[in-house]
Chain A
């Protein structure tokens, strides 16, 4: 018995199967890698806002539409939605807070003092708005009641706006100019209204 060298090896369709297997494997590996990258990109809280401010630029304030948790100063009624870009033309103080955040409790009177200073003007050209994040509604409302909060607040239940503003920890406060650009960011607890009012006064004065 001799081996015929012209006879194709056993399992002649093997090369095709191996190619198909390699393609399927490649697609799966690429898919898993893509999911990992998407996950990492979405999870990452960047520093582009901070970088721009440090370079002396005013980065555009991310826009968002959020439900009203606390109504005040023309923001409301409770349950309605407010789009931040609809506040163009005003200086907006945007403060990220939560009921469980102790520094937020300590800075609440500072924010109320700033709001009171500009409240009641003919055009309400400065508005202080809170953004409640990572919080239960009932707890947030109790916090506002217990601390006599008089400013309006929106609710960001899913952290979308918190992430868009690159807020890694609470509290954090932004001052947004009338053109919708971030002019100032205060990371951590506010201790003095002047931390905000100095910037606000500069923004109220027409440039040039």
Chain B
């Protein structure tokens, strides 16, 4: 029993690097862009894009991880090759600003709703005060008289 468990654990350990490297060229290509046409690399067929896809396949086959391949492309073409800006340094602004805008928009909803509700109430005018006892008595009389 223990032997079998050990064997299974060894097989799982041996398979780990394969799992880590099991990525396609397009898995990396969609994370970078073609420098000549500014489209994601996975949908580009520009000459340099073909060279870059070949580079990705070659490095993958040489055992590079996705991150190492992307780092390699950044080394070749600069950070501008990344399809999305990195989540660090000045580039963090590109992530923070839209999130901040959405958060502020959500926060503004109750405030705007309250404003609209107040405007509607103002347009309808103030609620009428309840009738005084004298008015109530006259109203009852009138209703009785009319049957």
| A17: contacting residue among B97, B111, B118, CB under 8 A | B111
B29 to chain A, nearest CB (A): 14
Of B2-10, B100-108, B134-142, the segment with at least 4 beta carbons within 8 Å of chain A is B100-108
Residues in A with CB closer than 8 Å to B115 are: 14
Which residues in window 12-62 of B have CB below 8 A to A?
Answer: 35-36, 46-48, 50-52, 55
Knowing A1-B130, A100-B47, the reply to whether A134 touches B55 (Cβ < 8 A) is no
Residues in A with CB closer than 8 Å to B118 are: 10-11
Residues in A with CB closer than 8 Å to B114 are: 11
Residues in A with CB closer than 8 Å to B100 are: 28
Tell me whether B95 is interfacial, beta carbon within 8 Å. Answer: no
Q: Are B36 and A134 in contact (CB under 8 A)?
A: yes
Knowing A11-B114, A31-B97, A134-B35, the reply to whether A99 touches B51 (Cβ < 8 A) is yes
A103 to chain B, nearest CB (A): 12
Tell me whether B129 is interfacial, beta carbon within 8 Å. Answer: yes
| B97: contacting residue among A35, A99, A100, CB under 8 A | A35
| B51: contacting residue among A35, A136, A158, CB under 8 A | A136
Query: Interface on A for B, CB 8 Å cutoff?
Result: 1-3, 10-11, 14, 17, 21, 24-25, 28, 31-32, 35, 98-101, 134-139, 157-159
Residues in B with CB closer than 8 Å to A17 are: 111
Chain B interfacial residues counted at CB < 8 A: 27
19 extra A-B contacts, CB within 8 A, seeds A25-B104, A28-B104, A157-B75: A1-B129, A3-B126, A11-B114, A21-B111, A35-B97, A98-B48, A100-B46, A100-B48, A100-B51, A101-B47, A134-B36, A134-B48, A134-B77, A136-B48, A136-B52, A157-B76, A157-B78, A158-B80, A159-B35
**Would you give 12 A-B contacts (Cβ < 8 Å), ordered by A?**
A3-B126, A17-B111, A25-B104, A35-B93, A98-B48, A100-B48, A100-B51, A134-B77, A136-B52, A157-B75, A157-B77, A157-B78
